[in-house]
Chains A and B, each alone.
Chain A
Amino acid sequence: MRIGSFILRRLLLSIFVLIGLSILIFIIARIVPGDPARLALGPRAPVEVVERLRKELQLDKSLPVQYWIWLTNALHGDFGKSLVSKRPVIEDIKEYLLATLELVFFAAIFMVFFATLLGILAARNKDRWADNLIRMFAYIGVSIPAFVLAIFFVLIFGYTWPILPVLSRLSPQFDVPRVTGFMIFDSLFAGNLNAAWNAFTHLILPVVALALAGTFQEARIMRAAMLDNLTKDFIAAEKGYGIPERIIMFKYLLKPSMIAPLSVMGMDIAAMMGIAFLVELIFNWPGLSRYGINAMLYKDLNAISGTVMIIGVGFTLANIVVDVIVALVDPRIRLAGVSGE
């Protein structure tokens, strides 16, 4: 099928994006002032010891050589050892990344589902109260950053009206063996429904804080696309042929109206990986954020490069997935360059 070649093309293109990203990360990490070896050993370490560590970390070599060493290792999944945790960076990332991914994954589902639903609702009730309410929330969503919303949530649901957990991924009384790294799925695999429910309640607030602003904005884009398509000749024609309303609504109107919101959602979902840093910090979510921030504060070069690189890969993959979904919906993109012959 033609979608196969489309995916292949996108994957090949993304290799160049990732090479560019790796060079950028490497340069930024190396030009930040301060000596990583000195930082790792502390101010009172003797000069010879610091020099030995510099050699060990190959910080004495030229920058291109350092980059080449770093890149070949990175391709093998080896980002070196973290100067702070003294463990291989990839091990640290494995431990924390999935918690972040869990958050982003469910936030993405939340956003796609509710944005579509609210978009249809707003379009069908154009200029009535439901539409106005969604519009109001969209404006509020744009003007309040996710981390402020997160702080409000912690205040309201953790202090004033404590009905939902606001800290960590799972209450301490549960112990679930790690299989997928996603707490809900792990609990379900373990057959522990109570733990799964507990993990779910822990997810609600961070997920909503992360996804809410985007959800309302996407809903607005969805609304606009639907109302725009509603005035098109093809809808009038389909109506004129006596095709039932529900078929027009959910087949002929919905599909072309999904294209614009889907493309924007792709960007938003990818950006969530970054925004998740702040939300995680507030909800004490054991994700990549705390690890990444500590890495930056201690100038833990390997950890910084590793973390950013992994997030970059995630970002790129999320974009490819969305592009593929858009291409599946829109034949004009899928078959671009393929003539009707």
Chain B
Amino acid sequence: MDNKILLEIKNLHVWYKVYGGYSKVLQGVNFLVREGERVGLVGEAGCGKTTTMKSILQILPPGDFHIPRGQIFYKGQDVLKMSFKEIQRLRSREIAMIFQDPTTALNPVFTIGNQIGDVIKYSTAFEENVYKEKIKIQSIKAIKEVYLPDPERIHINYPFQLSGGMRQRVCIAMAISSPRNLIIADEPGTSLDVTIQDQIHRLLNKIVEKRNTAIILITHSLGVAKEMADRIYVMYAGTIVETATPEVLFKNPVHPYTKGLLASVPKISGGGIAKGIPGKIPDYLNPPSGCRFQLRCEQESPICSEKPPQLFEIEKNHLVACYLTKR
């Protein structure tokens, strides 16, 4: 059963302006989220996961980026063509983003209550003063929902008085403080230790299940994505290379990068250090023409450097961008 499409990114290119030209980070990202769907986005650090997500909300660093091609449809409307007012509505009512590093994602000089309160205030029709009490009740409710002890106290605490795990919970509380249709979780808990990370993931899972909110979970761990997501996107150097359900992806990976990624997962039951993938992400200033994985690919052929491979449906809900599938 396929739900209605909530978010669809088509052929998105994002370039950053740097000294000596443009760093061509995204090269045709295609991405789809249905209502209430849990989508995992997996890839190495620096492959453009965060850039893709930030461009949905239009919060890329001002003035330094350029979007030469692509469309981002949210509920059928192109975000890149929206007026400022429509974008503000998208940001305040529709989508919430949880940032990767809870130590920098909260403003250091304002109380938790003040910050959550503002998110609530501008995401609803509340007027200040009149509904101050109501905002407070709602933000304390949000703090309670992420299982933080003593919400009344957290409400008047400053970020530096909380631990990393508590801060990440606060960030989640902020995201769920008012109803949203899509939550983007950018590697929540990557900067925390594993047990806390696990708690955070469970918490997120519980919340989206309860509220039937769609979620995009960005992670560089395939294991986490397998556990949490209905569908996984694998991203490499600014392109989506493969997408499938976790079962299919783990059983029948097609793209050489996905295969390498799966081989890199360390196994607890012996076998030594995992295989990994040699080489590193290409230079975005002068990326190779054609497939961006060709330099690290063991099955490279001349056609790979001609033009970038397009996503190709090899079976239902399983898409791969690689020339191997067509040969």
Residues of A within 8 A of B (CB): 230-234, 236-244, 247, 251-252, 255-256, 259, 329-332, 335, 339-340
Contacts and interface: CB of A to CB of B under 8 A. Distances in A.
A259 B107 CA distance: 13
B185 to A, nearest CB: 13
B284 to A, nearest CB: 19
B152 interface: no
Interface stretch (B24-32, B54-62, B250-258, B291-299): B54-62
Interface of B: 54, 57, 59, 61-62, 88-93, 95-97, 99-101, 104-111, 115, 118-119, 122-123, 153, 157-158, 160-162, 171, 174
B57 A240 contact: yes
Contacts of A259: 109
A236 B54 contact: yes
Nearest to A330: B109
Contacts of A230: 62
Give 4 nearest A-B pairs by CB, closest first. Answer: A242-B92, A340-B161, A242-B91, A233-B104
B123 to A, nearest CB: 7
Contacts of B153: 340
Contacts of B110: 251-252, 255
Given A255-B110, A335-B161, A233 B97 contact: no
A331 B115 CA distance: 15
Contact of A241 (B61, B157, B174): B174
A232 B107 CA distance: 9
Contacts of B160: 331-332
Contacts of B161: 335, 339-340
Contacts of B171: 237
B122 A242 contact: yes
By DSSP majority rule, is chain A's interface helix, strand, loop, or mixed? helix
Nearest to B175: A241
Given A243-B122, A244-B122, A331-B158, 4 more contacts: A234-B106, A239-B57, A255-B110, A329-B109
A340 B162 contact: yes
B59 A234 contact: no
B90, B100, B107, B108, most chain A CB atoms within 10 A: B107
A44 B130 CA distance: 84
A251 B158 CA distance: 16
12 contacts: A234-B105, A234-B107, A240-B57, A241-B96, A241-B118, A241-B119, A241-B174, A242-B92, A242-B93, A244-B88, A331-B108, A340-B162
Nearest to B111: A331
A227 to B, nearest CB: 11
A230 B104 CA distance: 12
Contacts of B111: 331
Contacts of A231: 61
A236 B122 contact: no
Contacts of B158: 331-332, 335
A242 B178 CA distance: 12
B59 A240 contact: yes
A238 B97 CA distance: 10
A256 B122 CA distance: 21
A241 B91 CA distance: 5
Contacts of A237: 97, 99, 105-106, 171, 174
Nearest to A331: B158
Contacts of B101: 233
Contacts of B119: 241, 243
Nearest to A332: B160
A88 B171 CA distance: 64
Contact of B118 (A243, A256, A329, A331): A243
B99 A233 contact: yes
Query: In this complex, which of B54, B57, B90 has the most chain A Cβ atoms within 10 angstroms of its Cβ?
Result: B57
Interface centre among B89, B108, B123 (most CB of A within 10 A): B108
Contacts of B108: 234, 256, 330-332
A262 to B, nearest CB: 12
Contacts of A242: 88-93, 122-123
B118 to A, nearest CB: 6
B65 to A, nearest CB: 13
Contacts of A255: 109-110
- Could you say which of A230, A242, A252, A330 has the most chain B C-beta atoms within 10 Å of its C-beta? A242
A236 B64 CA distance: 14
Contacts of A335: 158, 161
B157 A340 contact: yes
Contacts of A239: 57, 59, 91
A239 B119 CA distance: 10
Nearest to A338: B161
A11 B165 CA distance: 37
Contacts of B95: 240
Contact of B107 (A240, A244, A252, A339): A252
